[in-house]
């Protein structure tokens, strides 16, 4: 593929090249999809380093993908390109977003996948990928599959960006709406408490954000999950009594419901669709 020339240094700050792409998808590892996307990336930029953030997002679960991206992105080197494809609207007229923050680049469908990240970053520039521009520059093929945009659009655009081609070459700049607050905090209980993710250990990660002291200061007793009340706090997994669901501030700063050496999700029969409610004293 013949890429358009990059602008002179200083003309466009988004023209800096990047050697690292982090992939997040719901493709799983049983099929050829992940390997094919990597092949499409490497065929354009064979010097890329590719990191698999995860490919185990539940199929079409955009909210889970948004959480997983948010939980991980800040621990990557400055300049990383995050290529995220969880795309129930593949083949439709939904937009493809290209976003530059001060330290990172994000490419994803416009379906809420970037909401958590953009709520955190706040200062960024956004473009909508223009397929006709991309075609005219030879960035994507004239014929595009309606079922595999990860291969035919996302990978070529990310690879071109990794070689220093600015998004302005193949996208129109626009202003995104400010994402709705995704977290519930002790100071603001008006947002809906919910389960964002259940990890492989069966730990239930909620959208409640804050420390134990902060929650208790505002009179929060615990949570009700399904028909069960969880109101015991711990600071380490080993502090929990056997078979007792507990609350713990997790590594991402969100409150988790856990059982030591067992699955809280199995014990509480919880899924990401299970309702949770905050319980206050009085």
Largest distance between two CA atoms of the chain = 67
With cut-offs at 50, 70 and 90, classify the pLDDT of residue 9.
Answer: very low
**DSSP assigned state of 19:** S
Residue in 162, 23, 170 with CA at minimum distance from that of residue 83: 23
Architecture of the domain whose range is 195-280: Beta Barrel (2.40)
Q: Per-residue pLDDT for 10 more than 70?
A: no
Q: If DSSP states are collapsed to H, E and C, what string results for 63-118?
A: HHHHHHHHHHHHHCCCCCEEEEECCCCCCCCCCEEEEEECCCEEEEECCCCCHHHH
Which ranges constitute the DSSP H helices of 24-136?
33-44, 62-72, 115-121, 131-136
Give dist(CA 254, CA 67) in Å, integer.
11
pLDDT reading at 190 higher than 60: yes
What is the rounded average pLDDT of the residues 156-177?
92
pLDDT the model gives residue 274: 96
Compute the mean pLDDT over every residue in the chain, rounded to the nearest whole number: 92
* Nearest CA-CA partner of 104 in 180, 14, 185: 14
Contacts of 74 (CB under 8 A, 6+ apart): 120
Spans of all domains in the chain: 13-174, 195-280
Residue with tokens 């699955």, as numbered in its chain: 263
Overall average pLDDT of the 158-187 stretch: 91
Owner of token pair 């209980």? 189
10 Å CB burial of residue 249 (0-12, 13-18, 19+) is buried
Q: One fold for both 13-174 and 195-280?
A: no
- Do the bridges between strand 105-109 and strand 124-129 make them parallel or antiparallel, or are there none, so unpaired? unpaired
The 3-state DSSP class for residue 213 equals helix
Task: Classify domain 13-174 by CATH architecture.
Answer: 3-Layer(aba) Sandwich (3.40)
Report, in this order, helix, strand and coil percent for the chain, each rounded to 5: 25, 25, 45
**How far apart are the C-alpha atoms of 84 and 170, rounded to whole Å?**
19
118: pLDDT strictly greater than 90: yes
Whether residue 6 has pLDDT greater than 60:
no
- Pick from 75, 56, 76, 73: nearest CA to 197: 56
Dump pLDDT digits (tens) for 122-150.
Answer: 899 999 999 999 999 888 988 999 999 99
């Amino acid at each position: 593929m013949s890429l358009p020339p990059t602008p002179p240094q200083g003309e466009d700050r988004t023209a800096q090249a990047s050697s690292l792409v982090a992939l997040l998808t719901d493709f799983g590892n049983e099929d050829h999809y992940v390997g094919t996307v990597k092949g499409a990336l490497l065929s354009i930029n064979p010097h890329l380093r590719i990191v698999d953030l995860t490919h185990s997002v539940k199929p079409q679960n955009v909210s889970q993908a948004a959480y997983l991206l948010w939980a991980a992105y800040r621990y990557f080197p400055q300049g990383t390109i995050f290529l995220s494809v969880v795309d129930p609207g593949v083949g439709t007229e939904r937009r493809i977003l290209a976003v530059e923050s001060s330290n990172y680049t994000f490419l994803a469908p416009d379906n809420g996948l970037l909401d958590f990240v953009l709520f955190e970053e706040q200062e960024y520039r956004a473009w909508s990928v223009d397929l006709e521009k991309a075609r005219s520059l030879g960035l994507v093929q004239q014929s595009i599959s309606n079922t595999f945009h990860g291969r035919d659009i996302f990978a070529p655009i990310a690879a071109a960006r990794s070689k220093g081609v600015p998004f302005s070459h193949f996208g129109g700049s626009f202003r995104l709406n400010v994402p709705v607050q995704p977290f519930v905090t002790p100071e603001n209980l008006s947002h809906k408490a919910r389960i964002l993710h259940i990890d492989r250990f069966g730990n239930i990660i909620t959208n409640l954000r804050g420390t134990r002291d902060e929650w208790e200061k505002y009179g929060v007793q615990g949570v009700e999950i399904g028909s069960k009340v969880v109101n015991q706090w711990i600071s380490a997994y080993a502090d929990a009594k056997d078979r007792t669901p507990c609350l713990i501030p997790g590594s991402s700063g969100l409150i988790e419901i856990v059982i030591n050496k067992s699955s809280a999700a199995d014990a509480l029969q919880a899924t990401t669709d299970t309702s949770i409610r905050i319980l206050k004293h009085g």
